[in-house]
Structure 1
Amino acid sequence: MAARREVQRQAMMDSQREMDIQREVDMRRLQEAEMEQRTQRAVDEAMKKAAAENAVPQQGAAVVVSPPPQQIYHTPSPMPMQMQSPPGQSYTLAPNMMPGIPPEQMARVPSPHPPPYSSEYLPQDRPKSAQSVGSAAPATESNVRYCTECGFGCQIGDKFCSRCGAKQAS
């Protein structure tokens, strides 16, 4: 009889130990889930705050639409990539992105080729040593046609520009 009671007491202690272990495991899982939720909320709030701070300087410049943040579970969330500008310098837009200002009014970059009417390419302005250089005979005022691409003075009969190779109007 004493042996039976000892076996029952031992079985009861084992089951009590198993229940305690199971309770502790459940409590750890619950704490981990709560911690993960808090971390996710903190990350979401930080992303919203960063987006709001970044949107304030840009309100006058342009409207930026960002995709909603991804919901990732049981993995660490990646850090959002942000374009950085030097300290004290605001964001700048490309000239064709300026609202309300037509592109014609923006500062233009000079073309690497002078316009066709430029005196730089008139035959009389060429140095004497360069008059004989080229594949064709020197162009005179009466038979000159200026290339629409580079402005070079080509002969009227030429099908292609002798400088840039662009097709000439017939």
Structure 2
Amino acid sequence: MLPQNKLQDVFFTALMAFVMVYAMICYNISLNVGGLKNFVFLAAFSEILIMWPIAVIVELLIVGKLSKILAFRFVTPGKDSPIMLILAISSMSVCLMCPIMSFAATILFKNAGSEFIAVWLQTTAFNFPVALFWQLFFAGPLVRNVFGLIMKKIGKQ
């Protein structure tokens, strides 16, 4: 199920952003420490307090609308199957969010100094395939199912 109104859109966005941001923070910390270790799962919560609100705001104000505009250049609502619409919008969202969130992470956590552009580009390049894979195969289906269950439960009350 997908959001049907603005309140649902904000809730869905917050849930999706949390799942995506948490996973990407865990991934980036793992890169920095030489691999995934148990402490990473807790350490990610210190960064998520900063990155999650950024992701929600960027998605709600910019990326949500723009990703649909871009996706609808490839797919047509009412003509193409719903899964194709979801995959197109999700893919365009990652194409936009990954460089933006990598930019924020580079500013806030990378201490890049005079190598800022190079560090940002490298961070984006490392993050993009993981973000796309995570979104299309795990976060997207998980969040849509959880969101659908919550909306169904709320609707029965």
Structure 1 or 2: more helix by fraction: 2
Which structure has the larger Rg? 1
Higher relative contact order (CA 8 A, sep 6+): 2
Q: TM-score, normalised by structure 2?
A: 0.24
Q: TM-score, normalised by structure 1?
A: 0.22
